[in-house]
Amino acid sequence: MKSFYIDYPQEKIDDYQHAYRCIFCKIPTTIIFGLLENHSENCVYRNKQGKSAQLEAKLKPHIERFNESLTDEVD
């Protein structure tokens, strides 16, 4: 899963020189701040990315992280 989602389609906000927003949910990029959950819940981009992230998580093999020794090594 990606940390930041900045590849969504954007459009310029009228009357502002450097202000943009998501084409789908119309939320400004300064509020979205690269986070998927900052798009509206019914945003096409958010739903598409959320579904592909869920699929990716299902396809990844499960890795055991706690098979290491829990004792501290001391020289």
3-state SS track over the chain: CCCCCCCCCEEECCCCCCCEEECCCCCEHHHHCCCHHHCCCCCHHHHHHHHHHHHHHHHCCCCCCCCCCCCCCCC
Quick: pLDDT tens for 40-65. Answer: 999 999 999 988 877 776 776 656 66
**What pTM did the predictor assign?**
0.69
DSSP state of 11: E
pLDDT of residue 44: 97
